[in-house]
Structure 1
Amino acid sequence: MRQPISNRFSSRQLGVASFSALITFAAYTCIFAFRKAFNVAAYEGHTVLGLDYKIVLVITQVLGYMSSKFYGIRFISEMERVGRGRLILILVGLSWAAWLLFALIPPPYNFWCLFFNGFPLGMIWGIVFSYVEGRRTTDLISAALAVSFIFASGLAKFTAQWVMESLGVNEFRMPFIVGALFILPLLLFVYLLEKIPPPDAEDKALRMHRLPMSAEERKKLLARFLPGLVMLIIIYILVTILREVRDSFMADMWRASGEPFDASVFTRTETIISLIILVMIAAMIFLQNNYSTFILTQVIMLLGFIISLVATVFYLQSGLSLYLWMILVGLGLFMVYIPFNSILFDRFIATFRFSGNVGFLIYLADSFGYLGSVGVLLTKSLFRIQANWLEFYTQLVLITGCAGIIGTIVSIVYFIRKYRSEVKA
Structure 2
Amino acid sequence: MIQLRGSRALHDRLMRASPWVTILFASATSFSVYFCMYAFRKPFTVATYDGLVFGGTGVQLKTALVLGQLFGYALSKYIGIKFCSQLRRENLLVAMLGLIGFAQAALLGFALLPNAWKVAAIFANGLPLGMVWGLAMRYLEGRRATEIMVATLSCSYIFATGAVKDIGHRVLEVGGVDQFWMPFWTGLVFLPPLAVSAWLLDALPQPDLNDQQERSQRSAMTSKDQWSFLAHFSLGLILLSFIYVLLTSFRDFRDNYAADLLHELGLANVPAIFTKVEVVSAITIAFTLAALSFFRHNRHALVATFAIMLTGVVMLGGTTLLFRAQWISGLNWMIFIGLGSYLAYVPYTVLFDRIFAATRASGTSVFAIYLIDSLGYTGSTAIQVYKDLWKAEQSRLEFFQSFSLTLAVVGFVSLWVSGWYFIREERLAREADMLAQPTPGLGNQPAADTTY
TM-score class, shorter: over 0.9
Partner of residue 4, structure 1: none
Q: Does 1:290 align with 2:290?
A: no
Question: In the aligned structure 2, how far is the partner of 1:251 from the partner of 1:259?
Answer: 9
The offset of 1:158, in angstroms, is 0.4
Kindly provide the amino acid, as one letter, of the partner of residue 19 in structure 1. Answer: F
The offset of 1:170, in angstroms, is 1.2
The offset of 1:195, in angstroms, is 1.5
Q: Does 1:349 align with 2:368?
A: no
| Counterparts in 2 of 1:421 and 1:194: CA distance versus 1, 3 Å | closer
| Counterparts in 2 of 1:384 and 1:236: CA distance versus 1, 3 Å | closer
The offset of 1:63, in angstroms, is 0.4
**Equivalent of residue 382 in structure 1, options 366, 379, 389:** 389
| Counterparts in 2 of 1:245 and 1:387: CA distance versus 1, 3 Å | same
| Counterparts in 2 of 1:32 and 1:260: CA distance versus 1, 3 Å | closer
The offset of 1:412, in angstroms, is 1.4
| Counterparts in 2 of 1:316 and 1:380: CA distance versus 1, 3 Å | same
**Equivalent of residue 255 in structure 1, options 257, 260, 263:** 263
1:65-84 alignment to 2 at 5 Å?
65-84=73-92
Kindly provide the amino acid, as one letter, of the partner of residue 47 in structure 2. Answer: A
* 5+ long unaligned stretches in structure 2: 1-15, 433-452
Partner of residue 37, structure 2: 31
Q: Does 1:365 align with 2:372?
A: yes
Kindly provide the amino acid, as one letter, of the partner of residue 173 in structure 1. Answer: W
Kindly provide the amino acid, as one letter, of the partner of residue 292 in structure 2. Answer: M
Task: Check conservation: 1:53, 1:108, Cα contact below 8 A.
Answer: no
Task: Check conservation: 1:46, 1:107, Cα contact below 8 A.
Answer: no
**Equivalent of residue 153 in structure 1, options 134, 152, 161:** 161
Partner of residue 302, structure 1: 310
Task: Check conservation: 1:147, 1:338, Cα contact below 8 A.
Answer: no
Q: Does 1:164 align with 2:172?
A: yes
Question: In the aligned structure 1, how far is the partner of 2:271 from the partner of 2:62?
Answer: 19
SS at the partner of 1:111?
A: helix
Kindly provide the amino acid, as one letter, of the partner of residue 207 in structure 2. Answer: P
| Counterparts in 2 of 1:72 and 1:319: CA distance versus 1, 3 Å | same
SS at the partner of 1:195?
A: coil
Partner of residue 196, structure 2: 188
Partner of residue 218, structure 2: 210
Question: In the aligned structure 2, how far is the partner of 1:333 from the partner of 1:238?
Answer: 10
Question: In the aligned structure 1, how far is the partner of 2:431 from the partner of 2:200?
Answer: 45
Question: In the aligned structure 2, how far is the partner of 1:402 from the partner of 1:261?
Answer: 33
Task: Check conservation: 1:46, 1:108, Cα contact below 8 A.
Answer: no
SS at the partner of 1:43?
A: coil
Partner of residue 97, structure 1: 105
SS at the partner of 1:416?
A: helix
After superposition, the C-alpha distances for 1:5-42 in whole angstroms (9 at most, x for unaligned) are xxxxx971111001110110011101111000111110
**Equivalent of residue 52 in structure 2, options 34, 40, 46:** 46
Task: Check conservation: 1:103, 1:172, Cα contact below 8 A.
Answer: yes
Partner of residue 265, structure 1: 273
Q: RMSD of the TM alignment (CA)? A: 1.3
Task: Check conservation: 1:315, 1:322, Cα contact below 8 A.
Answer: yes
Partner of residue 5, structure 1: none
Task: Check conservation: 2:359, 2:425, Cα contact below 8 A.
Answer: no
After superposition, the C-alpha distances for 1:212-237 in whole angstroms (9 at most, x for unaligned) are 11111111111111100111111211
Task: Check conservation: 1:161, 1:263, Cα contact below 8 A.
Answer: no
TM-score, normalized by length of structure 2? 0.90
Question: In the aligned structure 2, how far is the partner of 1:325 from the partner of 1:305?
Answer: 14
Task: Check conservation: 2:355, 2:422, Cα contact below 8 A.
Answer: no
After superposition, the C-alpha distances for 1:82-120 in whole angstroms (9 at most, x for unaligned) are 121121111111111111011011224311111100010
Task: Check conservation: 2:292, 2:305, Cα contact below 8 A.
Answer: no
* 5+ long unaligned stretches in structure 1: 1-9
Q: Does 1:314 align with 2:322?
A: yes
Question: In the aligned structure 1, how far is the partner of 2:194 from the partner of 2:429?
Answer: 45
Q: How many residues align?
A: 415
Question: In the aligned structure 1, how far is the partner of 2:428 from the partner of 2:367?
Answer: 25
Partner of residue 14, structure 1: 20
After superposition, the C-alpha distances for 1:139-179 in whole angstroms (9 at most, x for unaligned) are 10011001211001111100000101111101100000000
Partner of residue 406, structure 1: 413
Kindly provide the amino acid, as one letter, of the partner of residue 73 in structure 2. Answer: Y
Question: In the aligned structure 1, how far is the partner of 2:221 from the partner of 2:271?
Answer: 44
Task: Check conservation: 1:102, 1:172, Cα contact below 8 A.
Answer: yes
| Counterparts in 2 of 1:150 and 1:176: CA distance versus 1, 3 Å | same
Task: Check conservation: 2:302, 2:423, Cα contact below 8 A.
Answer: no
The offset of 1:258, in angstroms, is 3.1
After superposition, the C-alpha distances for 1:49-102 in whole angstroms (9 at most, x for unaligned) are 221100000011000011111111111121110121121111111111111011
TM-score, normalized by length of structure 1? 0.95
SS at the partner of 1:83?
A: helix
Partner of residue 238, structure 1: 246
Question: In the aligned structure 2, how far is the partner of 1:320 from the partner of 1:270?
Answer: 17
SS at the partner of 2:89?
A: coil
